[in-house]
Structure 1
Amino acid sequence: MRKRADVFMAFMDEMGDFNIKQEPRTILELLEASYLALDGESILFKARLFCTETLRNGIVSQNGPDKDDISHRLSELPLHWTPPWFAARREISRLEKDNSNSKYSNLFYFAKLNFNIVQAEHQKNLVDIVRWDPNRVGDLPECMRICFEALDNITNGIVLHICEHKGWDDNSALPCLRRAAEMERGDVPSSIQCYMKEEGVTEDVAREHIRNMVHDALTEINNHCLNTKQFSSSMRMLVKCVTNAARVSRFVYQSGDGYGVQDGKTRDLIISCLIEPISLH
């Protein structure tokens, strides 16, 4: 861990402050790297704050061709916390606008072709999921039936355990944060509202608290997904699934309630990933 963080000391001055006089795109790459921070790597957290502030100040002062692109990327999820397939779609769209990639035109063509082929497979999978009927479990092979029944029993057991030991607070319309499921929609209290109610704090304080919770959770996930040598192959696959589940959660709620409000930006992004193929011309 120490060696990982020491690499970034090359960008710091004698006072321990970041002092980078590079083009904006170089600073942007350093910002992306900072999201790989593990617990205790304070240098990377410091780099993230420096790069974000530097790029935002640069957007205000510059009028170059990179201004709009950098502004857009600062508003997006970092690459490390973007669902991999959407990240591929996003990068292809970005490269299409960059005229400097003409010498890689053949490779770029195959990248788009590969995306469309895999997208078609995903569409077939979606059809199979939509057609799934729980009442036909008995028709499955025994090995699949055992897996389904085990998963169903575990899920139901978790629900029953929560209901028995936690219950619901009938004395208040807002459940405590520790007992509330996060569903930031118009008809359900959000985690921010729950914390405001529970602790009696302002919205700004509650938002900062939730941001810190997200930060801590993502750092904890990094501790596992970037140190998988200690796990068996099956456990590494589980860690990968959990990491991608966290990525999808952030993706769905990044621009508001992408689940409850299904006509917004999140819907358009999902369509671009799963429905609309990339033009090859």
Structure 2
Amino acid sequence: MLKEDVRHMFDEAAGGSSSSLKQIDTIQMLGLNYHFDDEIKGSLDTIMSTKDKNDVCDQENDLYTRALRFRLLRQHGYEVSQDVFKNFKEEMMMRSGNLKEWTVRDVEGILSLYEASFYAFEGEEILDEAQKFTTTHLKVQLIKANSIISHNKQNLSKQVSHALELPLHWRVPRAEARWFIDTYKTMQDMDPSLLEFARLDFNMVQATYQEDLKYVSRWWRELGLSEALGFARDRLVENFLWAVGFNFEPRFRNFRRQLTKVNSLITTIYDIYDVYGSLDELKLFTDGVQRWDINTMEDLPDYMKICFLALYNTTNEMAYHILRKHGVDSLPYLKKAWADLCKAYMVEANWFYNGYTPTLEEYMNNAWISISGPTAQTHAYFLLGDEMTNKDELERGDVPKSIQCYMHHTGSSERIAREHIKNLINDNWKKMNMDQAAASCKFPRSFINTTQNIARTAQLIYQYGDGYGVPDSETKDWIMSIVVEPIPCFEREI
């Protein structure tokens, strides 16, 4: 019944109105969008069919609405030009010296533009300027003692602080839904039916995660790697959270279960290369994975044999089920993904044993594979057919990471090095934004979303250090809120 109530909201809302756009945005942030994919697409199609796509909203004078519309269209792969903001550049610069005159609606508009700016493509200078301007002035609004958002709308202040910490586009959808459900209940325009639906849905989805976790826990226990390889990190729950971050929807439960297996094997193999194996042993293991031949086990030490066999059997079984269900032979691609990963680990092992600090370019050329993103992506593609970190890893004997490489070869301070890496992250998001919106993109939307969620999950895990290698309080809180603790559904609203 609650679901039908929400569906009726789409019928009642006007296609491109501010209220219609706000409704779509709210539903997405509450984590309910997977129930209404058709309705959301229909609303956005209506917007694009009634206006020239390069002049969308050109007559709209409200910055909040224009920026929200731009963000939603870009998010869903529609073509819309940054020129929709060109008329606001002069106004923004004129207002920059008169912050005391800003109203709540002004701040909402600036916040909306800030969020939209993170959907920029490479070379879009208007959006680059908008991001700098909005970041600066939102920070000012938080600092000013007489800020309009501090006095008149405390909830907006909370949203601004949250956005400045990390933009919406870079956040993990399920973690964001958990945060926003608590925030939404305090908002003036809160819809009780929508809030109740969001709470119930979150708890129902959480129940599927608990079943998934039971399944992978049983698999991990029976596999026996944790007991056999005591030096390796036992991070099953964190590996499962990665899978949830990649794709949270209930219908992708097999995807989450299989990706948890992949992530767990990646962790174990990484620790073999990183903290335990000798250089000669690592060469043998790398060769064995490249050849994908069970007979190569004869040359491996015992601890490597059990790991190789676990990898071999798990991957072959996964490929078998993909072939049986989808009629696609994925094994050649899965084997190559593992071989490429081990070769990248081998490069880092050679660097370490030779005491070599690579240049940032050398490091990045290898790290894009050794971070295991392509390995996870390859498995995800076929399964979808249906600062602390550096200190801790250096203590384990790990090769220097990107920040250390940049500092070593440029003589830069850590602050400058971190800013440089942050800019690289921003640049790569622009490339992803452009790729997913390109008319030539042939990948299904589910795979595009999953690929972007890999980056989002990594951002969340490593935001305040190494929440994976050395789980911090933020990571533990995330585990509790997403998997363990349900949301009370019958709170009395004040």
**What's the TM-score once normalised by structure 1's chain length?**
0.83
1:73 is displaced (CA, Å) by: 1.4
Q: For structure 1, which runs of at least 5 residues remain unmatched after alignment?
A: none
Q: Using the alignment, how far apart are the partners of 1:160 and 1:86 within structure 2?
A: 31
Please show how residues 253-272 of structure 1 align to structure 2 within 5 Å: 253-272=462-481
- CA separation of 1:265/1:167 partners in 2, compared to 1, >3 Å: closer, same or farther? closer
- CA separation of 1:158/1:52 partners in 2, compared to 1, >3 Å: closer, same or farther? same
More helix by share: 2
Kept in 2: contact 1:83–1:244 (CA 8 A): yes
- CA separation of 1:259/1:163 partners in 2, compared to 1, >3 Å: closer, same or farther? closer
Equivalent of residue 210 in structure 1, options 401, 414, 421: 421
Q: CA RMSD in A?
A: 3.1
| CA offsets 1:215-243 (integer angstroms, 9 cap, x no match) | 1111111112233x423354x44332211
1:250 is displaced (CA, Å) by: 0.9
Q: SS of the residue aligned with 2:482?
A: helix
Answer with 1 or 2: which has the greater Rg: 2
1:210 is displaced (CA, Å) by: 0.8
Equivalent of residue 114 in structure 2, options 31, 35, 43: 31
| CA offsets 1:161-207 (integer angstroms, 9 cap, x no match) | 43677762244264443237475352333321121112222223212
Aligned length: 276
Please show how residues 96-135 of structure 1 align to structure 2 within 5 Å: 96-98=185-187, 100-101=188-189, 104-132=191-219, 133=223, 134=310
What amino acid maps onto 2:433 in structure 1?
N
What amino acid maps onto 1:110 in structure 2?
F
> Are 2:350 and 1:168 aligned?
yes
What amino acid maps onto 1:53 in structure 2?
T
Q: Using the alignment, how far apart are the partners of 2:479 and 2:94 within structure 1?
A: 37
Kept in 1: contact 2:135–2:164 (CA 8 A): no
1:105 is displaced (CA, Å) by: 0.7
Q: Using the alignment, how far apart are the partners of 1:10 and 1:258 within structure 2?
A: 43
Q: Using the alignment, how far apart are the partners of 2:418 and 2:486 within structure 1?
A: 37
Q: SS of the residue aligned with 1:168?
A: helix
Q: SS of the residue aligned with 2:355?
A: coil
Kept in 2: contact 1:185–1:260 (CA 8 A): no
- CA separation of 1:153/1:119 partners in 2, compared to 1, >3 Å: closer, same or farther? same
Equivalent of residue 82 in structure 1, options 171, 181, 198: 171
Q: For structure 2, which runs of at least 5 residues remain unmatched after alignment?
A: 1-52, 56-80, 97-101, 224-309, 372-388, 395-399
| CA offsets 1:232-280 (integer angstroms, 9 cap, x no match) | 354x443322111111111111122211221321321232122211111
Q: Using the alignment, how far apart are the partners of 2:216 and 2:329 within structure 1?
A: 17
**What's the TM-score once normalised by structure 2's chain length?**
0.50
Kept in 1: contact 2:359–2:406 (CA 8 A): yes
1:92 is displaced (CA, Å) by: 0.8
- CA separation of 1:151/1:129 partners in 2, compared to 1, >3 Å: closer, same or farther? farther
Q: SS of the residue aligned with 1:184?
A: helix
Tell me the equivalent position of 1:280.
Answer: 489
Q: Using the alignment, how far apart are the partners of 1:140 and 1:172 within structure 2?
A: 38
What amino acid maps onto 1:231 in structure 2?
C
Give the share of equivalent positions with the same residue, in percent.
Answer: 30
- CA separation of 1:238/1:107 partners in 2, compared to 1, >3 Å: closer, same or farther? closer
Q: Using the alignment, how far apart are the partners of 2:109 and 2:358 within structure 1?
A: 45
Kept in 2: contact 1:37–1:45 (CA 8 A): yes
Q: Using the alignment, how far apart are the partners of 2:393 and 2:346 within structure 1?
A: 25
What amino acid maps onto 1:230 in structure 2?
S
1:33 is displaced (CA, Å) by: 0.9
What amino acid maps onto 2:453 in structure 1?
N
- CA separation of 1:84/1:139 partners in 2, compared to 1, >3 Å: closer, same or farther? closer
Q: Using the alignment, how far apart are the partners of 1:2 and 1:172 within structure 2?
A: 54
Q: SS of the residue aligned with 1:131?
A: helix
What amino acid maps onto 2:484 in structure 1?
I
